Chain A
Amino acid sequence: MAEKTIQIEIKRQSGPDASSTWEKFEIPWKPGMNVISAMMEIAANPVNASGQETTPIAYDSNCLEEICGSCAMVINGKARMACSALVDKLEQPIRVQPLTKFPVVRDLAVDRSVLFENLKAVQAWVPVDGTYDLGSGPRVFPQQQEVAYPLSNCISCCCCMEVCPQFNDATGFVGAATIAQVKLFNSHPSGKVLKEERLRALAGDGGVQECGFAQNCVQACPKQLPLTEAISDITRDVTLQVAKDFLRA
């Protein structure tokens, strides 16, 4: 009996400025395979479906358990994590391409530094660095923890931004992930100290106002962050902050 194989087509690009082409592969099926492990098979034997020798696929991945956030790709037309995209649950040929709204580095590896820049722009951290010991932090009540924990699950994969109709070159929209992190750090008893600055940052061009509430982000998020709720809450907070600043000016 012939060995069971899988069909996979990958959009390849040798560098940031190179043109892209689709390359087809037929690789042996293994139980429990996912899109990353399929690409590991290709790396072990880099030959495409027409039998030509090729280069291994470049891509980002690390944890292989949907927790590091590095392996986001567009698989069969949808942005998702490649390591949790099980081959047996995908229609074949599986078509894999890099995220479309982030500059390609090579093949499936993209540059997502825009999210890092956005998180820096809103100071998405708890500022505790100092020259002396600040002691233990304030208590966080379980009720607060229940709000914060789901928001803290963000893995910075950028799926929410990829699927957002408002996240594009024309708007320079900040995207749902950063807004959710503002809610997280604004609710933290120590992180709160930067609350007003974060809200003012988000009132800038490309801020919360650009959201058109298409709600794709919350559908696509692999970690099920309550993104639309965060956007709603934070837009209200930003509006109130802008009004306060206006009256105190």
Chain B
Amino acid sequence: MHMPLEDTLGLNLLAANQHQAEHNREHFDAWRLLCINLMSSPGAGKTSLLERSLAALATDLSMAVLEGDMTTQLDAERLEAVGVPVVPITTGRACHLDAAMVSGGLKLLRQQLDPACLDLLWVENVGNLVCPAEFEVGEHRKVALLSVTEGDDKPLKYPVMFREADCVLITKTDLLPYLPVEVERIEAHIRAVNPRCTVIRVSASTGEGLEAWHSWVRQQLAQQIAQLTPAMVLA
């Protein structure tokens, strides 16, 4: 006997990934660290920025990096040269990191060190303006990078990532004199899709804006630690 039935699920399509992401975040909270997910199109300057930021922040913060790279370990090698623990996560053909891959990265990280001694965990996502925005990995903050060479229309063409970002970095500002692009227009288009995010102009080459960027990071870390409850830390 067949009876047509209907179940209402009302479940997020990515529920499986979200569960794993929440699980990752519980670990981060228990370790009292801030996890930042860096996202951008290929070559916008994520690794270059990290090289500068790791060097500058290492004076008083303890950090590690989970490095998402499709097939190579090139970025991981660049960052290891700065003297910070790096775990490469080769994603194969996947065009983004997902929560399960980051969980695998955390297992490897724990073989190297006790994450409870970290203040900051950086995740460099795969270079891609589209899907990393939909796949949470358990991060506390999302940071999107957009280089001035990409043109001022990108926030309008790929709005989801810029909408989701807590902070957008306009990178490679040292190149502005050579480009027919107005940084004000880039910024206006970012604010059009996300009026509330922090926008900072930076150059990993000249160091412009890095101080503002680093103070944003420190501020987020302080906020994150302040809102932890004893239950989260003991989890």
* A and B form one complex: no
A-side residues, CB < 8 A to B, are none
B-side residues, CB < 8 A to A, are none
